[in-house]
Amino acid sequence: MADNKNKFMNEAGKGGLILASVVIAYMLIGGLLGKIQNGGFALSLLKFILWGGKLFLCIWLMFRLMRKEAGRNGGDRSKTFRFGVMLALLSAVVVAGFNLFYVTVIAPDTFKQAFDTMAQAYSGILPSDQLDAMMNMESSMPTISFFANLVWCFLFGTIVSSIASNQICGPKNPFDEE
Alpha-carbon distance of 34 to 31, in angstroms, equals 5
State pLDDT tens for residues 151-171.
999 999 999 999 999 999 877
* 8 A C-beta contact, residue 40 and residue 110: no
pLDDT at 178: 55
Q: 66 pLDDT exceeds 80?
A: yes
CB 161 within 8 A of CB 87: yes
Kindly report which listed range (51-65, 102-116, 138-152) carries the lowest average pLDDT score: 102-116
Whether residue 24 is predicted with pLDDT greater than 70 in this model: the reply is yes
CB 158 within 8 A of CB 88: yes
Contacts of 164 (CB under 8 A, 6+ apart): 62, 63, 66, 67, 80, 84
More confident residue, 26 or 75: 26
pLDDT in tens, 83-92: 999 999 999 9
Residue 148 has pLDDT above 90, yes or no: yes
pLDDT above 90: percentage of residues in the chain: 48
Contact between 35 and 113 under an 8 Å Cβ cutoff? The reply is no
Q: Identity (one letter) of the amino acid at 11?
A: E
Picking from 50, 92, 82, 65, the residue whose alpha carbon sits closest to that of residue 11 is: 65
Whole-model pTM?
Answer: 0.84
* Separation CA 27–CA 19 (nearest Å): 13
Query: Which pLDDT does position 2 carry in this prediction?
Result: 67
What pLDDT is stored for residue 1 in this prediction?
Answer: 57
- pLDDT category, 72, cuts 50, 70, 90? confident
pLDDT at 19: 94
Check: CB of residue 84 under 8 Å from CB of residue 64: no
The pLDDT of residue 174 is above 70? no
Contact between residue 79 and residue 165 where contact means Cβ atoms under 8 Å apart: no
Question: Average pLDDT, whole number, for the chain?
Answer: 87
Find the length of the chain: 178
